[in-house]
Chain A
Amino acid sequence: MRISRSRATGWAALFAVVSSSALADEPKVEVLADVILASNEGTAVDPPSLVAMKTEFASAGLAFSSYQRLSSERLSLTKQKPSELKLPNGKVATVKLEDIKNGTAQVKVNAGNTEVGLKLGREGQVFVQAGAFRSGQLVLMLSPGSARKP
Chain B
Amino acid sequence: MTSSPACNTYMPLLSPYIDGELVPGERISVERHLAACKDCTMRVADLRAESGLLRVGMELAADQADFKDFAQKVMARITPDRPPLFERWKLALSETFLYQRGTVVTAFAGAAVMLLVALPLILRERPPVGYAGERMLVQSVTVDDEAHVAPVVLETSAGNAIVWGVHHLDEAKPAVAPEDEATDEELEQEAAPASPDDTKLKQDKPKGGEL
In the complex, A50 has a CB within 8 A of chain B: no
Determine whether the beta carbon of B86 is less than 8 Å from that of A117: no
CA distance A59 to B159 in the complex (A): 11
Contacts of B203 in A (CB 8 A): 61
Contacts of B147 in A (CB 8 A): 112-114
Interface of B is mostly: mixed
In the complex, B54 has a CB within 8 A of chain A: no
Determine whether the beta carbon of A113 is less than 8 Å from that of B165: yes
In the complex, B5 has a CB within 8 A of chain A: no
Taken residue by residue from 71 to 110, chain A's Cβ proximity to chain B (1 for < 8 Å, 0 otherwise) reads as 0000001000000000000000000010010111110000
Contacts of B132 in A (CB 8 A): 102-104
Given contacts A123-B135, A144-B136, contact A97 B196 (CB under 8 A): no
Residue picked from B129, B139, B163, B196, most chain A C-beta under 10 Å: B163
Determine whether the beta carbon of B141 is less than 8 Å from that of A29: no
CA distance A146 to B137 in the complex (A): 16
Determine whether the beta carbon of B141 is less than 8 Å from that of A115: yes
Residue picked from A27, A60, A61, most chain B C-beta under 10 Å: A60
Determine whether the beta carbon of A121 is less than 8 Å from that of B134: yes
Interface residues on B, range: 35 or more
CA distance A124 to B149 in the complex (A): 26
In the complex, A6 has a CB within 8 A of chain B: yes
Residue picked from B157, B160, B161, most chain A C-beta under 10 Å: B160
| Residues of chain B in range 41-57 having any CB-CB distance to chain A below 8 Å | none
Shortest CB-to-CB span from B133 to chain A, Å, is 4
Determine whether the beta carbon of A61 is less than 8 Å from that of B197: yes
CA distance A40 to B196 in the complex (A): 10
- Which residue of the partner chain, among B131, B142, B159, B161, contacts A122 with CB atoms under 8 Å? B131
CA distance A77 to B130 in the complex (A): 10
Given contacts A119-B136, A127-B161, contact A61 B131 (CB under 8 A): no
Residues of B whose CB lies within 8 Å of any CB of A are: 86, 127-144, 146-147, 149, 151, 154-165, 196-197, 200-201, 203-204, 206
Other than the given A103-B132, A114-B147, A143-B136, 11 more pairs (CB < 8 A) read: A60-B154, A60-B157, A62-B154, A62-B164, A113-B147, A119-B139, A124-B161, A125-B161, A127-B160, A142-B136, A146-B131
